[in-house]
């Protein structure tokens, strides 16, 4: 399953979420993950291509959902809100602790989702 993490600048939250996800999922995981930001100056920007690639889009806050709703309403069904505020430094341990809890729950939900008909367990990385 392809999981896209979205924050504002793609500097702290979404890259950290990507790392935590990979760590929790393990090396043998069939899940693939990427991270992007919604801001014009984001390190890696959210695009139609990224949203089309993703089976699940995990946004850090409601404002990111609103952004997707405005520009890509057809992808709203994929969105999950993690509710991680923009209060953390990229290397801050507390950010990783918060993300760990949220991503454990996300991983559990992906196991359930992967067993539904019509949802691929994973796709090859382009």
DSSP string covering the chain: -EEEEEESSSSSHHHHHHHHHHHHH-TT---EEEEEESSTT-SSB--HHHHHH-SEEEESSHHHHHHHHHH-GGGGGGEEE----S---TT-HHHHHHHHHHHHHHHHHHHHHHTSTT--S-----
Quick check: is 56 in a domain?
yes
Residue 97 lies in a domain: no
Q: Which domain holds residue 37?
A: 13-85
Q: Per the domain annotation, does 91 fall within a domain?
A: no
Confidence class for position 116, pLDDT limits 50, 70, 90: low
Task: State residue 113's pLDDT score.
Answer: 58
In a domain, 96, yes or no: no
**Domain count for the chain:** 1
Domain assignment of residue 81, yes or no: yes
Asked if residue 41 belongs to a domain, the reply is: yes
- In a domain, residue 106? The reply is no
Residue 55: inside a domain, yes or no? yes
Position 61 confidence tier, pLDDT thresholds 50, 70, 90: very high
What is the value of pTM for the model shown? 0.87
């Amino acid at each position: 399953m392809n999981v896209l993490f979205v924050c504002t600048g793609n500097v702290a939250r979404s890259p950290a979420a990507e790392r935590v996800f990979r760590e929790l999922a393990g090396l043998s995981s069939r899940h693939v993950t990427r991270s992007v930001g919604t801001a014009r100056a984001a390190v890696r920007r959210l695009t139609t291509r990224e949203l089309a690639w993703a089976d699940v889009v995990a946004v850090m806050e409601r404002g990111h959902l609103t952004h997707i709703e405005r520009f890509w309403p057809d992808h709203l069904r994929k969105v999950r809100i993690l509710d991680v505020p923009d209060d953390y430094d990229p290397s801050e341990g507390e950010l990783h602790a918060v993300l760990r809890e949220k991503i454990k729950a996300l991983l559990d939900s992906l196991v359930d989702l992967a067993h539904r008909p019509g949802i691929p367990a994973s796709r090859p990385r382009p």
